[in-house]
Amino acid sequence: MNYKTLRYPGHCEKIQFLMKDLKLNEDRETLKRILERAIPQTQQDVVLIYAAVTGTRQGELFEETYVKKVYPRTILGRLWSAIQVTTASSLCCVVDLVMARPSVYRGFVTQEHFHLQDVLNNRFGDCFRT
């Protein structure tokens, strides 16, 4: 699994400068204060989900892909950005699944323990369904 964020050219270098060169990864309060003053919030983001699997099907090489765009949405009368919706939804799905079956999820649980279909079928998984 690979997770990437799409930003403008040079974004990665600037974040590396802040986090590693200036060591703000060790001073999160200062980092938060700087970013909140310098970068405006937006409710106009889009989260792109792209997954591709390559393997054999009936002896032939085959690829299957999943693509989904998630936009900001209003939940309980409040507008949430797409990144807020997808982050909170995935967290709520996992917590809900664990609370529903605590005997299945014990100790250190990795993302591989959760079946995609269980997440998609969960009451919090609607933003990931096609």
pLDDT in tens, 27-40: 999 999 999 999 88
Number of domains in the chain: 2
- Same-domain status, 114 and 98: yes
Neighbour-count burial of 107, counting CB atoms closer than 10 A to its CB (0-12 exposed, 13-18 middle, 19+ buried): exposed
Give the pLDDT confidence score for residue 116 in this predicted structure: 86
Q: Is the pTM of this model over 0.85?
A: no
- Same-domain status, 64 and 101: yes
- Same-domain status, 24 and 59: no
Give the pLDDT confidence score for residue 5 in this predicted structure: 67
- Same-domain status, 119 and 102: yes
- Tokens 């970068």 locate to 39
Q: Domain range holding 12?
A: 1-40
* DSSP character at residue 2: -
- Same-domain status, 97 and 58: yes
Calculate the average pLDDT of the chain. 91
Mean pLDDT, residues 6-16: 84
Quick one: pLDDT band at residue 51, thresholds 50, 70, 90?
Answer: confident
- Same-domain status, 63 and 91: yes
Quick one: pLDDT band at residue 77, thresholds 50, 70, 90?
Answer: very high
